[in-house]
Amino acid sequence: MLSFQYLPHREYAGLDTEEKLKKVFKIVKKDKIVLMQGRLKPHEEALLIEQTMGQITKKFSGISFCTILPDQNGKGKKSDGKVPLVLKNAFYNVFMKNRDTLTIIGPANLVKEIRKNPNRIDLMMN
């Protein structure tokens, strides 16, 4: 059976990097796939990879993760003529703080490959 666990932004927003990664590892080590609202910071992603490498055993083969970003390039969107689309996107990002992204984190033995597609998410499983 495949299990997903949603991790809303409010559950990890106040945590420091170590606590955040412990929370993610705790879920992933239960053979669940984390659907995380938002994204990890680049240094947190690097630390997640580093810590994963140190925890690989016969039972835990590591993790796979991917961040799905919203369309920020303006394709298919029109400006209203008053405010440029780039400026609108910048204001939106300041207030939302990347909460409209989705990060998928799962055990490497379950998730072979995560493909990005604007219309869907394909999880290739064993």
Domain of residue 62, residue span: 3-71+98-113
Domain assignment present for residue 125? The answer is no
DSSP designation for 57? -
Q: Which residues of the chain have pLDDT under 70?
A: 70-99, 113-121, 123-126
Quick one: pLDDT at residue 83? 58
Domain assignment present for residue 89? The answer is no
Q: How many CB atoms lie within 10 A of CB 9?
A: 16
39-67 residue pLDDT tens: 899 999 999 999 999 989 988 889 988 88
Quick one: pLDDT at residue 102? 87
Quick one: pLDDT at residue 74? 47
Quick one: pLDDT at residue 87? 67
| Residue owning tokens 């209203």 | 80
Domain assignment present for residue 51? The answer is yes
pTM to 2 decimal places: 0.74
- The number of domains in the chain is 1
Domain assignment present for residue 108? The answer is yes
Quick one: pLDDT at residue 67? 84
Strand order in the sheet with 102-107: 3-7, 32-37, 102-107, 63-68
Quick one: pLDDT at residue 84? 67
Q: What is the CATH number of the domain that holds 19?
A: 3.30.110
Query: Where are the alpha helices (H) located in 15-84, listed in sequence order?
Result: 17-28, 42-55
